[in-house]
Each structure stands twice: as C-alpha cells, then as structure tokens.
Amino acid sequence: MDVAIVIPARFNSRRLPGKPMAVVAGRSLLERVWRIAKAVGGVSQVYVTTDDQRVADHAATFGASAILTSPDCATGTDRVHAALSKLPKRPDAVINLQGDAVLTPPWVVQGLVDAFHADSGVGMVTAAVHCSWTQVAEIEALKKLSPTSGTLVTMDKFGRALYFSKAVIPYLRKRDGELSPVHRHIGIYGYSCAVLDRLSALPQSPLEAAEQLEQLRALENGIPINVVVVDYRGRTHGSIDSPEDIPFVETIIAREGELVGE
C-alpha cells in the first residue's frame, strides 16, 4: 500500500499562538514532529498541512513539503482530508500525526503504518497502551482532579475498538490478575482514503458530541477501528498545548534523550 503521513499544523492556537514555530530544545515544534515522521519506514511521503503561509515557509527551511488548506477546517482530520484533495495522486492510506505530538516515538507511528501494509482491508487504525495496575491507579487519581484528561479504549478479541471514553473503562468490579484490562488511547489515527472520505461527509454523532471524541463518529456509523497496542519503551508520553508545556518537554528530552538522531 501507498501510505503517507500528513502533519496538520495550525498557526493560531488560543494558548500558544504560532505554536508550530515554538522552539523546543533548539528546534521548532514542527521540525521535531516532521523528523519523527521521516524516521518511520514504509511511508511514501510526509507532508505538513497548514492554514498559514508563515508555517509553510518555516517548513521549507528544513525541507518539508507543505500544503496550504483553509482556516475553516474544524479539526486536524478535516485539514488532512483537505490536504489530500490537493495532491495530484492520493495515497491509499494516510497517518494523521498531530503537529504537537513531539514526544510520540517513531515506532508508535510505525505500528499504524505496519497495520496497513499487513492488511490492505484496514479502514481505520489507532494506538493504545496496555496499563499496569499502578498506571490505572494514577489515571483514576488524575481523573478526580481533571475528569476529561486522557481517553480510554476497550477492544474485542480481534483488536477492534468497542468504545472510547473519558471515563475509565471497563468498570473494575474487582482487581485481580497480573494484567489490568485497561488501555489508554493514544490520539494518533490512520485512515484509508475511502474511509476518510466517508467520515468527512458524516455529521457529528450523538456519542461523539457527548464525549467530545471524534473517533466515536466512526464507531456509531459502523466503521471499524483497529487498535494497535504499542509500547513506549520507557519513554514519557506528552504533547505541547501551552507555553508551560515547553520546559516540561525540554526536561523530558534532556532526561530521556532525543527520539530521532541527527
């Protein structure tokens, strides 16, 4: 299959204007995410898509191909879909790697790419991490302070998503066994172009509106989502949403090292 990675990078961020160009440990946020994408194998092209010429010009300084899309795109998924319509030849599938996913390891993205290469019938794919009982307790404690932080996912025995929620699912009546049944969702998606066309034409669904999780639109409309269980290999998960996140991410990079070499 012809699989591409598209990085949506909107200039205007309410909490961090000009976010794609924010400097993180000596490199812009956008360049760091682009370098992660370029380290993934089995990918034909990596594109940046943005609503602002300043971001496109910045992308050109480190060799990235940029596609200008409308400021009216409501979500990163919409922007990826709009970008694909401007290509002379669309790929078979696309990975949507958000422009602030600075701590997403290349091997996590690789898992989604490999899913398409392993089965050309895959329509939509995402990632999750299997939580230890200690991590479950940490998630539950965090949700007492910030109920909407983090998303959980349950799957069937074939690895297809049953439901995504801001609540801890499944409900834990008992806590025994070596492994917990809880999986933390990682917000990275891959779509066949046919599925992305279909999703983009569908209205917001009731559960999507209730949970504010756009992937529920797919499930409510009968579109299966394959879940790849990934291992961060001891790396810290995180992204940049505000100025305060930058020193936090820089501390992680200093402690754990760069995800991608020179």
Write out pLDDT tens, residues 151-206.
Answer: 999 999 999 999 999 999 999 998 888 889 999 999 999 999 999 999 999 999 99
The number of distinct structural domains making up the chain is 1
Burial class (CB within 10 angstroms; exposed 0-12, middle 13-18, buried 19+) of 198:
middle
pLDDT at 241: 85
The pTM assigned to this predicted structure is 0.93
pLDDT attached to residue 13: 80
pLDDT of residue 262: 65
Sign of torsion over alpha carbons 52, 241, 213, 66: positive
Q: Is residue 158 part of a domain?
A: no
pLDDT one-digit tens code per residue, 116-130: 999 999 999 999 999
Specify the DSSP element, H or E, that contains 169: none
Is residue 88, in this structure, part of any structural domain at all? yes
**Model confidence over 33-79: pLDDT tens digits?**
999 999 999 999 999 999 999 999 999 999 999 999 999 988 889 99
The one-letter amino acid at 220: E
Residue 92 lies in a domain: yes
- Domain presence at residue 128: no
Domain containing residue 86: 1-120
> Which ranges in the chain belong to alpha helices (H)?
29-38, 53-61, 76-84, 106-118, 133-145, 193-201, 206-211, 215-220, 245-256
Contact 237, 127 (CB under 8 A): no
Task: Quickly list DSSP for 185-229.
Answer: EEEEEEEEHHHHHHHHHSPPPHHHHHHT-THHHHHHTT---EEEE
Domain assignment of residue 40, yes or no: yes
| C-alpha closest to that of 239 among 40, 4, 15, 79 | 15
- Which residues neighbour 135 within 8 Å (Cβ) at sequence distance 6 or greater? 180, 182, 184
Domain presence at residue 41: yes
Q: How far apart are CA 188 and CA 125, in angstroms?
A: 8
Which domain CATH number covers 46?
Answer: 3.90.550.10
β 65-68/45-50 pair status: parallel
Non-local (6+) Cβ contacts of 137 within 8 A are none
60: in domain: yes
Q: Is 39 a member of any domain? A: yes
Mean pLDDT (the chain) is 94
